[in-house]
Structure 1
Amino acid sequence: MVVDIRQMNAICVLGWVDRLHIAVWRGSGVDESHMFYREMKAGIARFGSGVGHLAVIEPGTPLPPPEARKTIARVFNEHPGAVSAVSVASEGQGFFASAVRSVATGLMMLARTPVPFRLSGSVVDSAAFLSKHIVSPDGAPHDGRIYVHAVLEMRRKLHQQLPRSA
């Protein structure tokens, strides 16, 4: 499977692998939260249900402002049951990782919709979790390595083409 990159700027790259939406964040912004919202809505419109989300938070990424958090959580409230699982891979250490975990947990609480959710310290762990919850249209589970390779490709494009400015 190939990653379908839909949006990219200096703050994030958003793409799809089948029913899994992947967002690699290295900054935070309100405009980008709206990009995320629109992409998730488009995926839910396309697939109906069984959609998953993987957020990869690179070390040193600023925490999203409150308005961005509300926008991100809104898609889960508007489409209860459409999302099968969410995982957040926070790759930082110490206080940074702790703050990201708190924000991610808060976002899922804002969503008010029970969704299988996993906080992780690595993309590999998140991918393994999501591969148990996201299935192909024919009902076959995905190999988590597909998601890991998609994240690597997204990062390569993000870091190759755009300098860090957020």
Structure 2
Amino acid sequence: MTLEVGLVNEICAMGWVDRLYIAVWRGNGATEAHTFYREMKAGIARFGWGIGHLAVIEPGTPLPPPDIRKIIVQVFDEVPGAVGGVSVACEGQGFFGSAVRSVATGLMMLAKTPVPFRLSGSVVDSAEFLSTRVAAGATPLEPAAVVSAVQELRHRMRTRHAKSA
């Protein structure tokens, strides 16, 4: 499975691995939230039902304000049942981790349509959860491919940041 990279900037990096849309977040932005929304809608149009989403929240990422939260959950309400699973991997500890988990849970509660959801402390755990809920064509999604895709998105963010510094 190959990674189709979309947006890469200082706030986030996003891309598709088959039916799974991955977003690595280091900040907030309305443009990036709208990109997420458009890509999820495009994924539903492209793949049909059963797509998934992995949000990786890196330590120190500011919590999204209410307007951005609404944009993020909008796709779940517009196309009920299309998303087979969502996982949020929060790698931060202490208060940060607790705050991210609270916001992520609240986001999923804002959605009027229930979506299989898991909070996780690691990308590996999230990838395993999603592999059972997101079908890659006729074969299960490979957790190792998801982990590799997250590493590549992080690498592209670091490379972009180093070039702009």
Shift of 1:31: 1.6
> Counterpart of 1:97?
97
CA contact (8 A) 1:30 1:65 kept: no
1:7-39 CA-to-partner distances (Å, cap 9, x unmatched) read 111100110000000000000112211111111
Q: Is the 8 A contact 2:57 2:89 kept in 1?
A: yes
% identical aligned pairs: 66
Structure 2 gaps of 5+ residues are: none
Residue in 1 that maps onto 2:136:
136
Q: Which amino acid aligns with 1:159?
A: R
Distance in structure 2 (CA, Å) of the matches to 1:76 and 1:162: 32
The equivalent residue for 1:10 is 10
8 A contact 2:91–2:121 mirrored in 1: yes
Q: Do 2:91 and 2:122's aligned partners in 1 also have CA atoms closer than 8 Å?
A: yes
Q: Give the structure 1 partner of residue 58 of structure 2.
A: 58
TM superposition shift of 1:160: 1.2
Whole-angstrom distance in 2 between the partners of 1:37 and 1:162: 24
What code does the residue aligned with 2:104 have? A
Aligned twin of 1:47 = 47
State the 1:119 CA deviation. 0.1
AA aligned opposite 1:9: N
CA distance in 2, matches of 1:78, 1:9: 27
CA distance in 2, matches of 1:12, 1:142: 23
Residue aligning to 2:30: 30
Describe how 1:100-111 pairs up with structure 2 within 5 A.
100-111=100-111
Paired letter, 2:140: P
TM-score by length of 1: 0.95
Matched, 1:159 2:149: no
- 1:48 to partner: Cα distance: 1.3
Q: How many residues align?
A: 163
Give CA deviations for 1:47-98 in whole Å, capped at 9, x if unaligned.
1111000000000000011100000000100010100000000010100000
Give unpaired runs (5+ residues) of structure 1: none
| CA distance in structure 2 between the partners assigned to 1:100 and 1:86 by the alignment | 15
Query: 2:115 and 2:133 mapped to 1: Cα distance?
Result: 10
Runs of 4+ deviating beyond 3 Å = none
What is the DSSP-based 3-state SS (H/G/I as helix, E as strand, rest coil) of the residue aligned with 1:129? Answer: helix
Deviates more, 1:82-91 or 1:41-50: 41-50
Contact 1:29 1:65 in 2 (8 A): no
What is the match of residue 118 of structure 1?
Answer: 118
Distance 2:61 2:137 in 1: 34
